[in-house]
């Protein structure tokens, strides 16, 4: 288990989690413009559990790739100490499994257990 330095949110500029917006290019752009902490878009635990962690040497990224070869989550060393992985989950065991999958590549993990958006409620069974 990797232990990261605790994040302090007081007085920080934070890119909030946004559906279909919090991808790696946007997070890096936010860091370029002064964000201290950036969130990825909400990713559903069931989808992440199917992923394989792959080092992409060409892009110098860490990719979490679904069985259909689609990249579900992509991160890189530059944002490692700034990115919060947000997952939608309604199951503690699945949430823990996904947290263990990504823990060495992110600064923190946020579990969304109550988003009222249809996107979240349908996918996670809240």
Q: Which residues are catalytic?
A: 115
Q: Where are the alpha helices (DSSP H) in 23-67?
A: 24-32, 45-49
CA-CA distance, 65 to 74, in Å (whole number)?
9
CA-CA distance, 82 to 92, in Å (whole number)?
25
Closest CA to 109 of 21, 36, 4, 10: 4
């Amino acid at each position: 288990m990797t232990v990261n330095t605790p994040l302090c949110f007081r007085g920080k500029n934070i890119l909030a989690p946004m559906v279909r917006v919090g991808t790696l290019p946007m997070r890096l752009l936010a860091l370029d413009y002064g964000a201290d902490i950036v969130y990825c878009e909400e990713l559903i635990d069931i989808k992440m559990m199917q992923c394989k962690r792959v080092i992409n040497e060409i892009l110098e990224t860490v990719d979490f790739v679904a069985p259909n070869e689609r990249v579900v989550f992509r991160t890189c060393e530059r944002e490692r100490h700034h990115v919060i992985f947000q997952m939608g989950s309604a199951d503690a065991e699945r949430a823990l499994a996904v947290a263990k999958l990504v823990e060495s590549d992110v600064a923190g993990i946020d579990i969304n257990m109550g988003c009222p958006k249809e996107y979240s409620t349908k996918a996670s069974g809240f």
